[in-house]
Chain A
Amino acid sequence: ETGVTQTPRHLVMGMTNKKSLKCEQHLGHNAMYWYKQSAKKPLELMFVYNFKEQTENNSVPSRFSPECPNSSHLFLHLHTLQPEDSALYLCASSKEDGSSGANVLTFGAGSRLTVL
């Protein structure tokens, strides 16, 4: 257990479905992230939240909608996805204190999404 918990671990959905991915961290971190991991490709940063405020949206299609109700919880709402959106979605958190130090990311185990 890393202290970052993602649910569900596996999700299969049709292109017309609406579903949500959930992430919870118990580390007291203030920043939370969504990454997309596709086979043989670099991790792609999707969204960043710092103290519940979205600080980055990396040109992500609107069919992905993030929500951060507090510093410990992060959601990714999914709607009318495409088969190419099938991937592992990783949540991460970090303690961002404005310093130039390591600010290590702690990842969850991911939610494996398959879009049919």
Chain B
Amino acid sequence: GQNIDQPTEMTATEGAIVQINCTYQTSGFNGLFWYQQHAGEAPTFLSYNVLDGLEEKGRFSSFLSRSKGYSYLLLKELQMKDSASYLCAVRDGDYKLSFGAGTTVTVRA
């Protein structure tokens, strides 16, 4: 099966930077996604990486290294509303999407 690992929880202060790492071992690779899920709400799409490098979208950036099976999501200038669960998901060689268990980020004032 596919193996996707990310930390369970992270805590940071408002205005700070937090980096959420995701490592994966899959049979083939066709892209990596990050989703944000607030408690009681739908997961929403944040970013997609299929080539190595950094994708920047405002305060959020996502990085991918395919050779290392590694990605991170960088959240800058943290705001209280960024407190949520962040899900890493990998599409394998058969285009099947597998999710990690999610990282709960708590932003403190």
Residues from chain A with Cβ under 8 Å of B98 in the complex = 42, 45
State the B residues within 8 Å of A (CB).
4, 8, 30-31, 33, 35, 40-45, 48, 50, 87, 89, 96-102
Which of A91-116 touch B at CB < 8 Å? 100, 102, 104-110
Residues from chain B with Cβ under 8 Å of A106 in the complex = 42, 45
> Complex: how many Å from CA A104 to CA B89?
11
CB-based contact B43/A41 at 8 Å: no
CB-based contact B42/A108 at 8 Å: yes
> Complex: how many Å from CA A40 to CA B87?
11
> Complex: how many Å from CA A110 to CA B48?
23
CB-based contact A2/B87 at 8 Å: no
Count residues of A near B (Cβ-Cβ below 8 Å).
18
Partner among A43, A45, A102, A108 whose Cβ is within 8 Å of the Cβ of B87: A43
A interface: dominant SS: loop
CB-based contact A45/B97 at 8 Å: yes
Tell me whether A107 and B43 are in contact in the complex, defined as CB-CB below 8 angstroms, given that A42-B100, A43-B99 are known contacts: yes
CB-based contact B33/A100 at 8 Å: no
> Complex: how many Å from CA A2 to CA B37?
12
Query: What are 6 contact pairs spanning A and B, CB under 8 A?
Result: A42-B98, A42-B102, A45-B98, A104-B45, A105-B97, A107-B43
CB of A76 within 8 Å of the partner chain: no
> Complex: how many Å from CA A4 to CA B44?
11
Partner among B30, B44, B96, B102 whose Cβ is within 8 Å of the Cβ of A2: B44
Residues from chain A with Cβ under 8 Å of B45 in the complex = 104-106
